[in-house]
Amino acid sequence: MNALKKIFGGDTRQFGMIFALVFLIVFFQILTGGITLTPENIINLFNGNSYILILAIGMVLVIIAGHIDLSVGSVAAFVGISVALIVRDWGVPSWVGIVIGLLLGALVGAWQGFWVAYVGIPAFIVTLAGMLLFRGLNQLLGKSNTIPVPGDFQTIGAGYLPEIGPDTGYNNLTLLLGLAAIAAIIWGELRRRKAAQALGADVDEMWVVVTRLVLICGAIAYATYLFATGRPGTSFPVPGIILAVLVLVYGFITSRTVVGRHIYAVGGNKHAAELSGVQAKRIDFLVMMNMSILAGLAGMIFVARSTASGPFDGVGWELDAIAAVFIGGAAVSGGVGTVVGSIVGGLVMALLNNGLQLMSVGADWTQIIKGLVLLVAVAFDVYNKSQGKRSIIGLLLKNFGSKTETKAA
Amino acid sequence: MSETSTAPTLLEMRSITKEFPGVKALSEVNLKVKVAEIHAICGENGAGKSTLMKVLSGVYPYGSYDGDIVYQNEVQQFRDIRASEAAGIVIIHQELALIPELSIMENIFLGNEPTRFGVINWSEARLRSRDLLARVGLTDDPDTPVKEIGVGKQQLVEIAKALNKSVKLLILDEPTAALNENDSQHLLDLLLGLKGKGITSIIISHKLNEIEQIADSITIIRDGKSIETLDVKADGVNEDRIIKGMVGRSLESRFPDHTPDIGEVFFEVKDWTVAHPQVEDRLVCKGSNFFVRRGEIVGFAGLMGAGRTELARSLFGHSYGRFISGTVIKDGKEIRMNTVRQAIDHGLGYVTEDRKSLGLNLLDDIKTTTVAANLKGVSKHNVVNEDREFEVAEDYRKSLRTKTPSVEEGVAKLSGGNQQKVVLAKWMFTDPDLLILDEPTRGIDVGAKYEIYGIIQRLASQGKGVIVISSELPELLGLSDRIYTIFEGSVTGVLNKDDATQENLMKLMTAKRQAA
């Protein structure tokens, strides 16, 4: 177990989530007779969940700052239908429509951020109002009808990396992307190691580093293979690219920038943050605004994928996004949470959905199971924290550890 | 232990040992309390005082510790607080357990309501609460919401609540920590009165002068072991004797040596006036004037509620109060500080009196906290350089001698003294010209206090101005070069170190500005 911990770093929580994810994949792969890990299904999984995962990125920032946003589904629907109308009626190119959509999201976010940060109304209330308000606006603008979007708009929701270069039997760009990711991870790891050595801090032994890299890069290589060998015309999906860029950008912002530090500080102890010179109101405003921009983006991706915007787009998205964030280890009281954790939490939920669907489990049971998973994941967490242990996955880890130990014995 | 007293023993805790995973919090602790005495328990923070009281009151149930609790000549096996309360043992915690929205009466009878057929008999409750309030010397209407009475009175309501449970042994954990001088004295008198009526008290306190005043015997606990029990009258115990027991050595001096090197006036506040944030016609600072010289440690003395913290926080980026007026002159130029950020940029730092709720993000680790007020100092283009952050935190850990396995440890795990060092490091890293320290040694044990004083003196020697706000006059007298006194929002006087005594300070702190 110590070896495992070494390989995946000190954060048992994150390791535990990834472990849970791998477990689910294997579990469903066996139960569905191998349909889970097919190119079609994995591409489907990404396309069908990218908008929830994008919402989860915004939501984790909101929750770290100690707030909540219930309006994301309605905001997504409002921005989606506005952009669909603008592109259809004003005749602007799709990319202009998308830029307008992001600006519209920013505007909505500024509205909600204003009430939360500067008037001081709890975000729960402001966004509950927003949930009604923007749902109503969606239906008012669309007259409760469905508004179609043109083909080139659909790229951001249903597009794939194009086929270029020699015919290798694989999608060349997907392969390149995979190779680039692997190269970046190896380079980053080695650079970090060097920097740590220069500081005189402890570094992992070489075998640990190599094992870790082999495992991570192996997983990426396999995913690349799956994405590159899909049905002709499909490959790594465009929403997946957007998601990957957002994860990298927001992961960096939260962990390495001054703004990121300030978000954690405000969520952890607002008064202490203010007395350290953090402009807490500005931070509150920014996270709320950012959330609505991402909600607008998610809404547009969904519209693009379903080729039209409708009056019931985005219903219930807020709950999926919030569930992803909490499964991913964020604290209700704020100050705790990570972007990567929330993405993994969202993937766990997505895999559950997908696997149960493949097994032809009905929507009734799927909801029951998802509800219980959310409850159990957070309950383990709360229990383990009260016992002074690290978290969920202390438990998963412990079981895992004892199994390997008995095997070894 | 003296054998002069012949009073029977009420409580005996015999070789109590309590272990937590990885820590032995108590080891073979003995405590013997006689009927109708006031027994003080002294020890540094973390010595095990509170743990011992939790064992006694059933918070840690029978079976989770080793040793015996003999109470009224019987070995007790308390399963929970309810069981110990039924036996007449009531503990009043440092953080009061009153519900602010409920009335005094409702609080007194909470969990113990007089009922008839399951319905609360409020008229009986009202009658009984009048009687109970009279016994603790309160004349307030039992229907007053608890949030409307001051902390001092709330403490008395807690005692009334305990009396209602027919208490025989009253345990008070730091009862006067949040009280001003008058309320503290009232509480201590009340304890003496209860003692006269046969109620035994155990008191845990850091205020050694109070213990010296009211305790009959003192048990000293150090590192989870009972060191000694002193009989106050027979053994002629004084504060220095208690401290010697607590730290295990005698402290020759409670303050490190320091030769002040005082320069010119560089910071001056004129006619500073601040209104209460909610009640606009109530002024919390009224035309205050003061100045600070380079290298000078300036004390601010005043009773609780006199406006010391309000003055400091309103200066520090208007972080308290409304309608703030007055001028601040620094290095000959008038400066404006409307936000905390501006105050920090102008070279001010403020260490709050309320470390846990205003000073620290308890979720953070030491290195994040150390750089929290000066992220610019470790970042480039708004990106934090984590290597630099680590180095900075590590430097301060070494120079302030913070006791921690690593700077990546969470601040919540540190003791009060070490937390305060981390907070000091945070402000030192902003490189302030003027550092305002509000109750810098509150809740910190004797050994760590000495170190904090040393840090303050080093800052002054570097040419910085330091303002120290404190309720403990001996601390101000030992540390400051000059002391201002504050009463009801006004500066009522200033005394140089050599002229100041507890008596003349107290006079200025309690009276309006003299005709002069």
Cite the DSSP H helix spans in B401-493.
416-428, 446-461, 473-479
Long-range contacts, stretch B410-415, CB < 8 angstroms, 24+ apart: B410/B362, B410/B363, B410/B364, B410/B365, B410/B366, B411/B360, B411/B361, B411/B362, B411/B364, B411/B365, B411/B366, B411/B369, B412/B362, B412/B363, B414/B366, B415/B45, B415/B46, B415/B445, B415/B448
**Is the model's pLDDT at B233 over the cut of 50?**
yes
Summarised one tens digit per residue, pLDDT across range B469-511 is 988 788 888 889 999 988 888 888 898 888 888 778 877 877 6
Decide if B344 touches A, using CB distance below 8 A. Answer: yes
pLDDT of res. A322: 94
**Rounded Cα gap, residues B442 and B414, in angstroms:** 15
Summarised one tens digit per residue, pLDDT across range A205-239 is 777 788 878 888 888 898 888 888 877 778 888 89
Beta bridge partners, B385, equal none
**Rounded Cα gap, residues B424 and B330, in angstroms:** 22
Decide if A359 touches B, using CB distance below 8 A. Answer: no
Decide if A394 touches B, using CB distance below 8 A. Answer: no
For domain A2-159+237-408, is the CATH number 3.30.70?
no
Query: With contact defined as beta carbons under 8 Å apart, do B260 and B299 qualify?
Result: no
Residue bearing tokens 């010391």: B308
- Which among B350, B360, B384 is the nearest to A258, CB-wise? B384
Summarised one tens digit per residue, pLDDT across range B80-129 is 888 888 888 998 887 777 888 888 888 888 877 877 777 888 888 888 88
Q: Average per-residue pLDDT in chain B? A: 84
pLDDT of res. B252: 58
| Residue ranges covered by each domain of chain A | 2-159+237-408
Q: What SS3 state is found at B212?
A: helix
CA B501 vs. chain centroid, Å, equals 23
Average of pLDDT values for B62-73?
88
Q: Show the CA angle centred on residue A383, arms to residues B77 and B110, nearest 5°.
A: 50
Average of pLDDT values for A121-143?
94
Q: List the single range of A187-201, A304-318, B369-383 with lowest mean pLDDT.
A: A187-201
CATH architecture of B9-247: 3-Layer(aba) Sandwich (3.40)
Percent of chain B at pLDDT exceeding 90: 13
Average of pLDDT values for B428-444?
88
Query: With contact defined as beta carbons under 8 Å apart, do B156 and B137 qualify?
Result: yes
Query: With contact defined as beta carbons under 8 Å apart, do B460 and B294 qualify?
Result: no
Q: Quote the strand ranges of B245-321, DSSP E.
A: 265-275, 283-293, 297-302
Is residue A44 classed exposed, middle or buried when 0-12, 13-18 and 19+ CB atoms within 10 A define those classes? middle
- Closest to B274 measured CA to CA, from B310, B309, B249, B303: B310
Please, which pLDDT band fits residue A139 given cuts at 50, 70 and 90? very high
Per DSSP, B271 falls in state E
Residue to test with chain A: of B363, B398, B436, most A Cβ within 10 A: B363
**Within 10 Å of residue B281's Cβ, how many Cβ atoms?**
7
Residue bearing tokens 């008191």: B203
Which residues of chain A are within 8 Å of residue B420 when distances are taken between CB atoms?
Answer: none
Q: List the single range of A13-22, A66-75, A153-162 with lowest mean pLDDT.
A: A13-22
CB contact under 8 A, B383 and A257: yes
**Rounded Cα gap, residues B134 and B480, in angstroms:** 43
**Rounded Cα gap, residues A210 and B428, in angstroms:** 42
**What distances in angstroms separate CA A2 from CA A193, A252, A310, A398, B408, one per listed residue?**
20, 28, 52, 11, 20
**Rounded Cα gap, residues A297 and A105, in angstroms:** 8
Is residue A212 classed exposed, middle or buried when 0-12, 13-18 and 19+ CB atoms within 10 A define those classes? middle
Decide if B319 touches A, using CB distance below 8 A. Answer: yes
Please tell me which of A66-75, A306-315, B299-308, B366-375 the model is most confident about, judged by mean pLDDT: A66-75
Query: With contact defined as beta carbons under 8 Å apart, do B292 and B266 qualify?
Result: yes
Which residues of chain A are within 8 Å of residue B373 when distances are taken between CB atoms?
Answer: 276-277
**Is the model's pLDDT at A7 over the cut of 70?**
no
**Rounded Cα gap, residues B25 and B12, in angstroms:** 19
Query: With contact defined as beta carbons under 8 Å apart, do B198 and B123 qualify?
Result: no
Closest residue of chain B to A274, computed from CA coordinates:
B340
In angstroms, the separation between the Cα of residue A382 and the nearest Cα of chain B is: 15
Where along chain B do the CATH 3.40.50.300 domains lie?
9-247, 261-347+432-516
Do the interacting molecules here have an ipTM over 0.85? no
Please, which pLDDT band fits residue B357 given cuts at 50, 70 and 90? confident
Fold of the domain built from segment(s) B261-347+432-516: Rossmann fold (3.40.50)
Summarised one tens digit per residue, pLDDT across range B127-175 is 888 888 888 888 888 888 888 887 788 888 888 888 888 889 999 988 8
CB contact under 8 A, A275 and B340: yes
- Which among A258, A271, A388 is the nearest to B382, CB-wise? A258
Average of pLDDT values for B252-263?
80
